Amino acid sequence: MRKKEKAKHIQAILDELFPETPIPLKHSDPYTLLVAVLLSAQCTDERVNQITPHLFKRANNPADMIKLSVEEIREIIKPCGLSPAKSKAIWELSRLILEKHGGEVPQTFQDLEALPGVGHKTASVVMSQAFGFPAFPVDTHIHRLATRWGLTDGKNVVKTEKDLKAVFPEATWNKLHLQIIFFGRQYCPARGHKKESCPICSLYGVS
């Protein structure tokens, strides 16, 4: 079966299982989404959603955020892990958003990826979920599932993103990346995965 045919059937399964795809990270605007995504690195969305209300109560915009010290930010976000680096990045990106972008989160990959702590995956999430720009954020979970399904050779997330964009219609990317994340959590975990009981791996699983 050709990859595009396989992808079409996989997408049909995902559409049936997850017709609605709420954004997992709680936020109120592009800035709070950006901060939440940055915090989610090597941290669960559930933990981030427990921490961000405390942070955003103190500062939910760049101007208020830079009024806090890096140490104050670090104390609040400590449960998310990597707090020394994340707190510095949050403070610095807030300063740059104010100085270079008039206090508004920039709406280009180039400008987003120039901000401290913001890599391509984080920029892709913000571009797709905050601004509706077609993007396909690939994290380790999507990378793992795409490899399991034989849609990519699994060499790296950059290659996986390119391969997935080639087999799925652009109009579906923003919803699809969330569907794959939800599917992985419910049916296709990294550990204890049973191929025969997985709605997709039982049909197309290669590993």
Residue of 88, 121, 163, 175 marked catalytic: 121
Residue of 139, 155, 165, 175 marked catalytic: 139
139 an active-site residue?
yes
Task: Give the DSSP H/E element, type plus range, for residue 202.
Answer: helix 201-204
Q: Chain centroid to CA 94: how far?
A: 20
Alpha-carbon Rg of the chain, whole angstroms? 18
121 an active-site residue?
yes
Q: Where are the beta strands (DSSP E) in the chain?
A: none
Burial, 32: exposed, middle or buried (Cβ in 10 Å; 0-12, 13-18, 19+)? buried
Instruction: Decide if 96 contacts 111 (C-beta within 8 A).
Output: no
Number of CB atoms found within 10 A of residue 172's CB: 16
Q: Which residues are catalytic?
A: 121, 139
